[in-house]
Structure 1
Amino acid sequence: MTSMDCFEKQSIVVNSELTPTIEVTRGQVLEVTVFNELPTDWPQVTEGITVHWHGLDMRGAEFYDGVAYLHQCPITPGTNFTYRFTVDETPGTYWWHGHAGVERVDGFYGPLIIRPNGTEALAYDEERTLLVSDNFHGEANAMTFGLNRPFDATKQTNASGGWVWVDLPQSVLFNNRGMFADCGMGPYGNAKPIACKPAAQWVPPGRSEAQPWAAPTNKGCARYNLTVEAGKTYRLRVINTGSLAYQTLCFEGHNLTIVAADGYPTKPLVVSCLDINLGQRYDVLLKANQAPGNYWLTARPQFRPGSAAGYGVLRYSGANASALPASPAPQPDTLAPWTLAQLNQVRLSADLLGASANRSLAAHLGPNGLSPPGAAARVLLLNNTQPLLSSGQLRWALNNVATYKTPSCQPTLNQIKAQPQYLDQHARVSAEKYVNYDMLQTGNSSEPMVYMADSATPQAEPVAGQQFVTVGGGDVIDVIIQNMPANANGGDYRPGVGNNRTAMEQHPFHFHGHHFWVLGHGTGRWNASAAAGYNLLDPSFRDSYTVFKDGWIAIRFRADNPGLWNLHCHIDYHLFMGQKVYFLEEAGLISQPPPDFPACPATCTYNFAAWAPGTVKQMFGSSGYPARR
């Protein structure tokens, strides 16, 4: 049991530690043996766990990328598996996390720091790693069960139950510390400001006046304090490890200098606050150049009205460790997110550009360094919507396809390696095969519905299936991700009421197997004329980037990394609901799967199954998990 924010709950720990750090020197072989010792009644939407190495290209190690049923079968309870690969990435800040269900929301993640195998030019006195995470009191996989029940009220029954959103996080944590009683809680979508009144540096264990709701065994909680010494410069490795919230991070009275984004050095950029979305990492320099004392460290979620803010303390050595800052606590909804113009200022370091690029800084530099390659051989448009399927289920989709995990029970990459014509053989099989969305398990004989995102005849109506793009040959590929209204492209079949479902959300898209150049972004609809405004000189080079409401982004990558790579939204619940597409790259050069991979189960869980309340109770019982529904 943990009590990270003064609410006692079960979390996933590794070697009895929350979110442990892995450090490795570039060029070393990393071996990590994962033992799955989760209890057998832990609610899961897959049969086990996997580990993804977020931000690593995994060249030559494509089977170790760690997406369940895409690269490997999960590590089931009571078994273990060793990930083993050479780390050949730019030294910097990365992270590892679960990628089977949504188990990383329960703490199954941690920093991954790649050190240079020589000296580093960046000057600072000390460094810290700062994890920023939104925190839910329920067990994460249990919270997803309600997402699969009918959204359409006419298709809900007492047995099926109805669609239930996960709502807002109960708190925001810094390095697993926070206090959920700091803020009032508004209902989901609440447009009214909420009040936050942080009152203590720590809360003692057990039930007390400060936490009358607590169990006698509650371990209490402590506010995160970042302690610094006056006059020193600190490198902060900031990672947004949350599951829902885009965060604005501020250190009262102190500016930050951005020096790296998603592992790659950037032009130094001074900001008053740092905007960081899910999956992103920024390395920033903080100078302890103010009068010694206590200052607020705050994280304020954006685009989620009613969300609580998170409060830590930037404490100068010698300041009163029991005292909070004397200034009023900054409130949620009082600070706007970065504009597109501000975001455009995060650009590649000049040391990585051109033929004279410093080759000790980055892996896989071409003859022109990290300058983006010339015109794209292909341009792929991915329209992002939130359709209502004929089953009454609400999904997230790209080009009208909501991509599920399983069927079948074998990893897709294995099947493609064994059957080079796999995608052709299974393309657009009869949709009738999976109209039964109550189905929970499938056998190995089940076949997927395969859709091709770049097909000459795009999918006209929303469907559930597996969506692929085939690329390779070192081709330069442009991908346009276009945010569209929820009901666009025939996405809501209900007369009248469906026409009103026009909302859009921001989405942090992450690309496995690649960093990409962010050539441009804008509001409204993308068209080909936007290419005239692309930044081809020194764009951001990222693996995770935000598509804003009513907006688009244009990214470019070179298809030269054999494997099967997932492009997906990093909001866990959007990913679970289908917001992803798979890029099959250099299929003929994919290596052989490791012989010691976890064994695949005879039957496997279909994550788009309805997960009706009766089914959940039958599989997992009804005790121990507050969010079980």
Structure 2
Amino acid sequence: MLLVETEGSYTIQQNYTNMDIHVGQSYSFLVTMNQSPLNDFYVVASGRFVGDANIRDKATGVAVLHYTNSQGPVIGPLPNGPDEDMYISMTQAKSVRWNLSSGAARPNPQGSFKYREIPVTDVFILVNKPTQLIGGKWRRSINGISYLAPTTPLSLARHFNIPGVFKLDFPNRIITTRTPKLDTSLINATYKGFMEIIFQNNNTNIESYHMDGYAFFVVGMEFGIWNENSRNGYNMLNAVARCTTQVFPGSWTAILVSLDNAGIWNLRSENLNSWYLGQEVYISVVNSKLAKRNELSLPDNSFFCGELSDLQKETKDDGSTSHKHTYSAGTTKTKMSLIDYIVKFAFLYLIFLSMIGWSF
């Protein structure tokens, strides 16, 4: 299989007999049909590092590669997968590199493809641990914080300046003296900054992290604990740009990302059980020069909840909507906008003119 692309980035073209594709990742391969057409061939996708053979067998996907001039059906047992050696898997992952000779478009932070020359503005070491009791419930965490989803959406809370919904105090490294907690704590990032993030996996299973809104450079991964000297082994020439990366057990993965996309972006574990249990964090990237008048207005069908539930529109049977306010007594009252008042006044004024004999 000739690897040519991963997650929007053209790669150095190399042949592989197998490829470890981690949760949330995607790859593109070219396969040359040059084998003998004596019979069909198996194509197998099987689980890796699962441990339980029964689960692995149930998660195995099988396809048949059929030549139009094939002389017989596929024969024999399914081919065995590669050895479950994480060192070999990591070596394979580091062999996936950017194709700098390709003419395709590439991320262009600060006007340069040479990301090694871009100064780093923020460094975050994100440490995850095995499931633990936090607030009386089994939870997962990053830097000792298990994400607590607020009742008011983050972007709406910022748009309407609602206080107390979230805090911009996520620690840039784990605080070992602090008890793990549930919290709505966001990373306060610098707009157009260049952030270094190190994922430290202190769990026994492979993690896979995805970042919304961005592609990042995967510059390094090794077994052990990350330290300042680990940067000496970074690939600062042709690291691939992607949005999802794996972190092996007892190892670290380092990424560099150019924060040129304003918004509140989710960084999460792609393992659904870990994500559900709170192993995620949001990154706030604010462009202070962007005025609200330059932003697109909220769509009419926006959903409001939490502190903004009184702005929620009531959907009628005919599909139209009307604003409503909910009061403690449980009653609702229609809220008229300025345009509603103008239209109503104009209508009454026309009636008045018709009553005094004006013609139209």
Q: Compute the TM-score of the two structures, normalised by the length of structure 1.
A: 0.44
Q: 1:397 aligns with which of 138, 141, 145?
A: 141
**Equivalent-residue separation in structure 1 for 2:284 and 2:166 (angstroms):** 16
Which of 1 and 2 has greater Rg? 2
- Structure 1 residues 558 and 365: alpha-carbon distance in aligned structure 2, compared to 1, 3 A threshold: closer
Measured against aligned partners, the alpha-carbon deviations of 1:411-447 in whole angstroms (never above 9, x if no partner) come to 211111222xx6xx53xxxxxxxxxxxxxxxxxxxx5
Alignment of 1:162-241 (within 5 A): none
How far residue 362 of structure 1 moved from its aligned partner, in angstroms, is 3.2
Identify the residue that residue 570 of structure 1 maps to in structure 2.
270
- Kindly indicate whether the alpha-carbon contact (under 8 Å) linking 2:127 and 2:173 is maintained by their aligned counterparts in 1: no
| CA contact 1:266–1:348 (8 Å) conserved in 2 | yes
Partner residue of 2:232 out of 532, 549, 572: 532
Instruction: Give the 3-state SS of the residue equivalent to 2:101 in structure 1.
Output: helix
- 2:90 is aligned to 340
- Cα offset for 1:532? 1.0
Q: How far apart are 1:374 and its partner, in Å?
A: 2.7
For residues 323-334 of structure 1, the aligned pairs below 5 Å read 323=73, 325-331=74-80
Tell me the equivalent position of 2:69: 318
1:361 aligns with 2:113: no
Q: Distance in 2 between matches of 1:569 and 1:533?
A: 25
Residue in structure 1 matched with residue 156 of structure 2 by the alignment: 414
**Distance in structure 1 (CA, Å) of the matches to 2:236 and 2:82:** 35
Q: How does 1:31-180 map to 2 (within 5 A)?
A: none
State the number of aligned residues.
297
Question: Match of 2:67, as an amino acid?
Answer: Y
The structural deviation recorded for 1:330 is 2.4
- Separation in 1, partners of 2:7, 2:183: 31
- Say which of 481, 493, 504 aligns to 2:199: 481
Show the counterpart of 2:186: 468
- For 1:452, the equivalent position in structure 2 comes to 170
Decide whether the 8 Å contact of 2:126 with 2:172 is kept in 1. no
Deviation at 1:304, TM superposition (A): 1.1
Distance 1:381 1:298, change over 3 A: same
Query: How much has 1:350 moved relative to structure 2?
Result: 1.2
- AA aligned to 1:314 is L
Identity rate of aligned residues, in percent?
Answer: 23
1:378 aligned partner: 122
SS at match of 1:316: coil
* Structure in which a larger fraction of residues adopt helix: 2
1:596 to partner: Cα distance: 2.5
Query: Relative to structure 2, which stretch is displaced further, 281-290 or 331-340?
Result: 331-340
- Helix, strand or coil at the partner of 1:398: coil
Higher mean displacement: 305-314 or 534-543: 305-314
1:595 aligns with 2:263: no
| Equivalent position SS for 2:198 | strand
1:247-303 deviation digits (Å, cap 9, x = unpaired): xxxxxxxxx111111111111111111211111111111111101231111111012
Find the partner of 2:101 among 351, 362, 374.
351
> In structure 2, how many angstroms separate the alpha carbons of the residues matched to 1:376 and 1:335?
36
Q: 1: CA distance between counterparts of 2:138 and 2:100?
A: 45
Q: What secondary structure sits across from 1:273 in the alignment?
A: coil
Aligned partner (choices 288, 300, 304) of residue 46 of structure 2: 300
- CA 1:597–1:536 in structure 2 vs 1: closer, same or farther (change >3 Å)? farther
Structure 1 residues 473-515: Cα deviation after superposition (integer angstroms, max 9, x where no partner): 3211100110114xxxxxxxxxxxxxxxxxx211111111111
Q: Which amino acid is 1:468 matched to? A: L
Partner of 1:291: 36
SS at match of 2:70: coil
CA deviations on 1:316-364 (whole Å, 9 max, x unpaired) are 123368x3x2122124685556432221111011136xxxxx4x52354
SS in 2 for 1:346: coil
Describe the superposition over 1:9-63 as per-residue Cα deviations: whole angstroms up to 9, x where unpaired.
xxxxxxxxxxxxxxxxxxxxxxxxxxxxxxxxxxxxxxxxxxxxxxxxxxxxxxx
Cα separation, partners in 2 of 1:272 and 1:456, compared to 1, 3 Å: closer
Residues 1:279 and 2:24 are matched in the alignment? yes
Q: Distance in 1 between the 2:272 and 2:191 partners?
A: 32
Amino acid at match of 1:381: I
Counterparts of 1:261 and 1:320, CA distance in 2: 35
Matched, 1:267 2:12: yes
Separation in 2 of the partners of 1:378 and 1:603?
32
Contact between 2:166 and 2:186, CA under 8 Å: does it hold in 1? no
Unpaired runs of at least 5, structure 2 = 309-360
Paired residue secondary structure (1:525): coil
What secondary structure does 1:415 align onto? helix
Cα contact 1:507–1:547 (8 A) shared by 2: yes
Determine helix, strand or coil for the equivalent of 2:137: coil
- Indicate the SS of the match to 1:289: coil
On the 8 A contact 1:263/1:281 being kept in 2, the answer is no
Secondary structure in 2 aligned to 1:287? Answer: coil
**Where do 1:417-436 residues align within 5 Å?**
417-419=159-161, 425-426=163-164
Contact 2:206-2:249 within 8 A present in 1 as well: yes
Q: Distance in 2 between matches of 1:570 and 1:522?
A: 20
Q: Distance in 2 between matches of 1:602 and 1:470?
A: 23
Deviation at 1:453, TM superposition (A): 2.6
Q: Rate the CA distance shift 1:380–1:448 in 2: closer, same or farther, 3 A.
A: closer
The answer to whether 1:509 aligns with 2:209 is yes
Report the CA distance shift for 1:461/1:301 in structure 2 as closer, same or farther (over 3 A): same
Q: Report if the CA contact (8 A) 2:153-2:305 is conserved.
A: no
Distance 1:454 1:534, change over 3 A: same
Q: CA deviation at 1:600?
A: 2.9
1:302 aligned partner, one-letter code: R
Greater Cα offset, 266-275 or 307-316:
307-316
